[in-house]
Amino acid sequence: MAQKQEVQVQIVQLSVEELKQIIQSACQEVVQLTAAQRNPQDLITRQELAEWLKIDLSTIHNWKKTGKIKAYQLGNRVYYRRSEVEAAIQRIN
């Protein structure tokens, strides 16, 4: 797990636009780092998928049953490929 860095910033005569630019830049950096750490080919469990999308397990079951998302079974466990789920979400929306 990544360690949290504590940064203190002192703002002296900073316009609203400058502050807005700093915040946007910091947010973009966080999003890029998060996306870089995530492998789209990663397999995730039903529980992880439900937490990620903030949906119920029954929704995942229905999507699988209707063919909206593809499941992969390894032994007794069922997994979903992150990239395929993202593509399916785009088709659903």
Q: 82 or 4: which carries more pLDDT confidence?
A: 82
Sequence-distant (≥ 6) Cβ neighbours of residue 57 within 8 angstroms: 46, 47, 50
Q: What is the pLDDT of residues 61-90, one digit of tens each?
A: 999 999 999 999 988 999 999 889 988 888
Identify the pLDDT of residue 87.
87
Chain-wide mean pLDDT for the chain? 82
Neighbours of 48 (CB within 10 A): 14
Share above pLDDT 70 across residues of the chain, in percent, rounded to a whole number: 78
Identify whether the C-beta of residue 53 lies closer than 8 Å to the C-beta of residue 46: no
Is the entire prediction scored with pTM above 0.75? Answer: no
Domain ranges across the chain: 43-92
Identify the pLDDT of residue 34.
61
